[in-house]
Amino acid sequence: MPSDAKSLPDNAQHLLVIDDDSRIRTLLHRYLTNNGFRVTTAQNAQEARKTISGLTFDMLILDVMMPGESGMELAADLCKSNPVPILMLTARAEAESRIQGLEIGVADYLSKPFEPRELLLRIRNILKRNVSQPQSPIDEVTFGPFCFKLERQELLCGEDVIRLTDRERELLCLFASQPGATVTRLALAGEDGTGERTVDVQINRLRRKIEPDPSNPIYLQTIRGIGYRLLTD
């Protein structure tokens, strides 16, 4: 796809958008180009592989649901051999896909439909992390006396296993996959789509299990007007 009529610096970061929906490809190409990125698009995994073989990218934006080879299959393969960070686009009902994506090593996910500004913030945060620290899979995070192991989705306090609900495991996976980063309430809403009130209730329940004083949280902090973050050691 040709670039929009806007001059980009030679060092502009290069993004590859992979989505079978031509409307989304066009919108993201225009929006991200207007925000200073060099953007290339691909309509399926086969085209993406061909493009990646000839160009270097700073980040991939990849839709989970595509005909033929799925975005999840492509991401699993790329995460084994290519250090480029991947932001996955998922439907709100695809909670299992989000968890699976985080487990195989994608940098983040965003549920459709999404606000372009949130996508831009996530892209910039991922790129910032990618530059500031070496890329290595996160096996576990610790905070205070707790340790959360991502592969087993298990929370330990010393040697004691803390019982978690499925929803609490999902929340901890989201926080642990990007330790210290703010996760928006929209991203935490999960597949049920019941809104922010439900997220607040779920966060409060999780705090009762990990905070010395849930009313004054130390580890799972509120970022007013945005979401929450898990402060890890």
Supply the CATH number for residue 19's domain.
3.40.50.2300
Q: What is the pTM of this model?
A: 0.55
Residues 170-185 have pLDDT tens digits of 899 888 887 777 777 7
For residue 5, what pLDDT band results from cuts at 50, 70 and 90?
A: very low
- Is the per-residue pLDDT at 147 higher than 80? yes
Read off the CATH number of the domain in which 200 is found.
1.10.10.10
For residues 209 and 225, membership in a common domain is answered with: yes
Would you tell me how many other CB atoms lie within 10 Å of the CB of residue 212? Answer: 10
In a domain? residue 115: yes
- Torsion angle defined by CA atoms of residues 30, 34, 223 and 141, in that order, rounded to the nearest 10 degrees: 70
Domain enclosing residue 192, as ranges: 140-230
For residues 120 and 26, membership in a common domain is answered with: yes
Q: Report the alpha-carbon distance of residue 123 to residue 28 in Å, rounded.
A: 12
- Is the per-residue pLDDT at 43 higher than 60? yes
For residues 92 and 199, membership in a common domain is answered with: no
Q: Report the alpha-carbon distance of residue 105 to residue 65 in Å, rounded.
A: 18
In a domain? residue 6: no
Average pLDDT for residues 131-144, to the nearest whole number? 71
For residues 68 and 124, membership in a common domain is answered with: yes
CA 211 to chain centre: 25
Average pLDDT for residues 150-175, to the nearest whole number? 91
